[in-house]
Amino acid sequence: MEIWRMAFKNGSRGFNLWPQCKTHGLAVIAHPEMDFDLSKYPPEKFPDKWVSLASEPKYSLKAFAFRVKAGDAIYAKDGANIVGSGLVKRRYHYYRSCPVKDENGERWPHVIDVGWEADFLPVEIFLGDAQRFTIRRLTRADLSKLRGARVAAAAKTAKEEQRRAAIEGQMERRQVLWRKRNRGLIDAKKVRSNYQCEVCGLRYDGMYGPLGSDYIVAHHIDLLAGKRVRRRTTMDDIALLCANCHAMIHRTDPLVRPAELRKKVLWRWDARSQRWRPRASVG
């Protein structure tokens, strides 16, 4: 598995394609001269028009078409910010009817399918020395720097959210506004955790490998729905659960609390052996 940083602008200060890419689950790249399926040509046998390209687009096109593979991770760059992350679902293919278009209505046909993370918390950081490249493989130092920046950004967001007291509303309209504003609090809770279910102990990366990395479900212990009085919300009001335990909590009315459900589970995930074991045998 390799991890990449990729820009989504038409030129360094041009039209931003990132919103379309996130919506359609794609990463795209283009160059006017390269209007053919790159996968049909080994790099050393590209048509003559390849020769006229500068070193920068040559590197980016080759990396995009031949080095990025399914299971790799991509971080989306927008200026001095990392604004998204996702896992590659399908490697490069030529998609003439690609829905992503630039400001002139031109389609960008060189495509990689990506499962973009829905609730990524943007972070201000430059990654990699060569900012001019559209796509660049990240080093361990880059990733360490990024993780530190994400933790700092999440902590800052959490502090701001707690300062504002994350007021939940009396009316449906207030609930919607709270959910949009409080996403940072959930992101902060996730980043500070080890992404382990608080009920059964499951970690998705232990079950699915890189595909399950940094994934967990946030559950509000006291539901917002039906509340007609304001109250404060903090990280302690949010539980991080696997999808199964989250579904079990919502099977009862009133909802069973995570601590109560933990006493009912018959099996727990043993992180050391990476397998399910009877609850009594898991320390």
Model confidence pLDDT, tens digit, residues 21-30: 999 999 999 8
% of the chain surpassing 70 pLDDT: 81
Environment class of 241 (CB within 10 Å of its CB; exposed 0-12, middle 13-18, buried 19+): buried
pTM of the entire predicted model: 0.56
Say if CB 84 and CB 116 are below 8 A apart.
yes
On the question of pLDDT at 143 being above 60, the answer is: yes
Amino acid identity, residue 170? Answer: Q
Average pLDDT over residues 103-111: 90
Domains of the chain by start residue, with CATH: 3-138 (3.10.590), 165-281 (no CATH)
d(CA 59, CA 42) in angstroms, rounded, equals 14
Residues contacting residue 113 through CB under 8 Å, at least 6 positions apart: 25, 26, 88, 89, 90
For residue 274, count other CB atoms closer than 10 A to its CB: 10
Computed over every residue of the chain, the mean pLDDT equals 81
Closest CA to 183 of 127, 133, 128, 121: 121
On the question of pLDDT at 163 being above 50, the answer is: yes
Half-sphere exposure of 117 (CA within 13 A, CB side): 22
Average pLDDT over residues 212-216: 87
What pLDDT does 161 receive? 65
Going by pLDDT thresholds of 50, 70 and 90, the confidence category of residue 179 is: very low
Q: 278 preceded by cis ω (within 30°)? A: no
What pLDDT does 113 receive? 96
Q: Write out the two tokens for 86.
A: 């996702």
% of the chain surpassing 90 pLDDT: 27
Residues contacting residue 268 through CB under 8 Å, at least 6 positions apart: 200, 201, 276, 277, 278, 279, 282
What pLDDT does 271 receive? 76
What tens digit of pLDDT does each residue of 58-85 get? Answer: 888 888 988 999 999 999 988 888 999 9
Helix (H) or strand (E) holding 283: none
Cα dihedral across residues 25, 215, 150, 140: positive or negative: negative
Average pLDDT over residues 149-171: 66
Amino acid identity, residue 127? Answer: L
- In angstroms, the Cα distances linking 111 to 100, 171, 211, 221, 279 are 10, 43, 20, 41, 46
Q: How far is CA 6 from the centre of its chain?
A: 14
- Asked which of 26-30, 128-132, 270-274, 278-282 is least confident by mean pLDDT, the reply is 128-132
- Asked which of 109-123, 134-148, 180-194 is least confident by mean pLDDT, the reply is 180-194
